[in-house]
Structure 1
């Protein structure tokens, strides 16, 4: 039986993270990311570096294990723990953490 190649950007054995970003009047879109940016650690660093306009949701998936889930609150909690390491945190990240805190 022939199988399709994995849609996971860095291999099916790893978790992949994608961000739904809000561009205001232009609408929302799942942001493209390169292979290196799809890992959790890189995602958190990119958020703290201000590489997203207005993140509203983060989804993780693993095609090998056959799961996907909304990890917005988990990532916001991690950002809360890590943002003290940064001199400045983008307003969009502060708003993201506040919105996620309301989902608890």
Structure 2
């Protein structure tokens, strides 16, 4: 992971903002990780499951009023795994590494 971190958490309304660090994109060699901002965790999970974010590395949350930052990658990965388990589908290939690395999940064999 790069040494990037938010330098200033803005003052204002009490809002939690989520940043997804994604390592895909056309300038992968110039900037191996890009931060993509989202307003809520549900949007992040949906974007990850539908392939709008192709190579997630980490998900960070920060609150603009309380001035905290937290790595929520484990919670997001566990929620993705749970939803896939409930639906009886495998974790999408583009997020398998993210889910496995943040849940400690062993790659599962999916029988046809």
Normalising by structure 1, report the TM-score. 0.72
Residue 31 (structure 2) pairs with residue 30 (structure 1): no
Structure holding more helix per residue: 1
Residue 54 (structure 2) pairs with residue 49 (structure 1): no
Matching residue of 1:95: 97
Instruction: Please show how residues 1-104 of structure 1 align to structure 2 within 5 Å.
Output: 7=10, 12-23=13-24, 25-26=28-29, 27-31=32-36, 33=37, 37-83=38-84, 84-85=86-87, 89-102=91-104
- Structure 2 unaligned blocks of 5 or more: 1-8, 105-112
Normalising by structure 2, report the TM-score. 0.68
Q: Distance in 2 between matches of 1:21 and 1:61?
A: 17
After superposition, the Cα gap between the structure-2 partners of 1:61 and 1:94, relative to the gap in structure 1 and judged at 3 Å, is same
Query: Alpha carbon RMSD of aligned pairs, Å?
Result: 2.7
User: 1:13 aligns to what SS in structure 2?
Assistant: coil
After superposition, the Cα gap between the structure-2 partners of 1:89 and 1:77, relative to the gap in structure 1 and judged at 3 Å, is closer
- Structure 1 unaligned blocks of 5 or more: 1-5
Q: Distance in 1 between matches of 2:88 and 2:43?
A: 15
Q: What is the number of equivalent residue pairs in this alignment? A: 92
